């Protein structure tokens, strides 16, 4: 396993210049961003740009999100500090978001549609000794992953026209879900809370732009 101490400087600069000025304040989120080396999760062609304030291309036309976007999606889930949560991630990508959640002490079930990215993410996560509790599956993320449900939190890293019903069904009462919703060109990041009495509360966070979520309960392939 690779130690992360030599990467503290770049991670720290990213936190100080990109995250703190934009209101990222959750202690555990900031700690994870200071300790998870982002360059492990980009392709070789973009290694030198790993800490820049922008999304970067991955394989198969996909992207690793801008650091701030990963941070705000993590923060709005309001994951517990004192116990391990079970988090469903839709859209594994390179594995960076899963690594952030794992560093925070949570179990992660991540679903990725593209086999090339499943392999890429698994290889990346193997480099870090705190990612042993991350499970990656290939499948239609818009259908969630019912085998491991219910989940304390769900995080979707691709855009859907609306919140897929299976994801709401697989969320525990009291749980939170964050997802970009809208068209393929622009979306609104939404946070859904399933209250203890089963009601759904939805909050709009900010405008954003993600690659589309392809699947039965999202955008059709080739549309």
Residues belonging to the active site: 65
Q: How many CB atoms lie within 10 A of CB 166?
A: 19
CA torsion sign for 149, 182, 138, 58 is negative
Burial of residue 201 (number of CB atoms within 10 Å: 0-12, 13-18, 19+): exposed
Q: What is the spatial distance between Cα 209 and Cα 96, in angstroms, rounded to a whole number?
A: 18
Tokens of 215: 């699947």
Task: Report whether 121 contacts 136 (CB < 8 A).
Answer: yes
Residues in a beta bridge with 179: 190
């Amino acid at each position: 396993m690779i130690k992360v101490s030599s990467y503290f400087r770049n991670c720290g600069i990213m936190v100080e210049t990109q995250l703190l000025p934009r209101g990222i304040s959750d202690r555990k989120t900031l700690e994870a961003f200071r300790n998870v080396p982002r360059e492990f999760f980009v392709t070789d062609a973009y290694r030198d740009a790993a800490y820049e304030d922008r999304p970067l291309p991955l394989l198969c036309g996909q992207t690793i999100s801008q650091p701030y976007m990963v941070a705000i999606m993590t923060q709005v889930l309001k994951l517990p500090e004192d116990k391990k949560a079970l988090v469903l991630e839709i859209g594994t990508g390179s594995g960076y978001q899963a690594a952030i959640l794992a560093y925070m002490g949570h179990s992660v079930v991540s679903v990725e549609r593209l086999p090339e990215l499943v392999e890429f993410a698994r290889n990346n996560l193997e480099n870090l000794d705190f990612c042993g509790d991350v499970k990656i599956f290939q499948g239609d993320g818009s259908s969630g992953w019912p085998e491991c449900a219910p989940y304390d939190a769900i995080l979707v890293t691709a855009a859907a026209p609306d919140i897929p019903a299976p994801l709401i069904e697989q969320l525990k009462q009291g749980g939170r879900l964050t997802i970009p919703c809208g068209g393929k060109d622009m979306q609104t990041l939404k946070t859904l809370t399933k209250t203890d009495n089963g009601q759904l509360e939805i909050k709009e966070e900010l405008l954003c732009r993600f690659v589309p979520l392809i699947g039965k309960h999202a955008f059709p392939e080739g549309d």
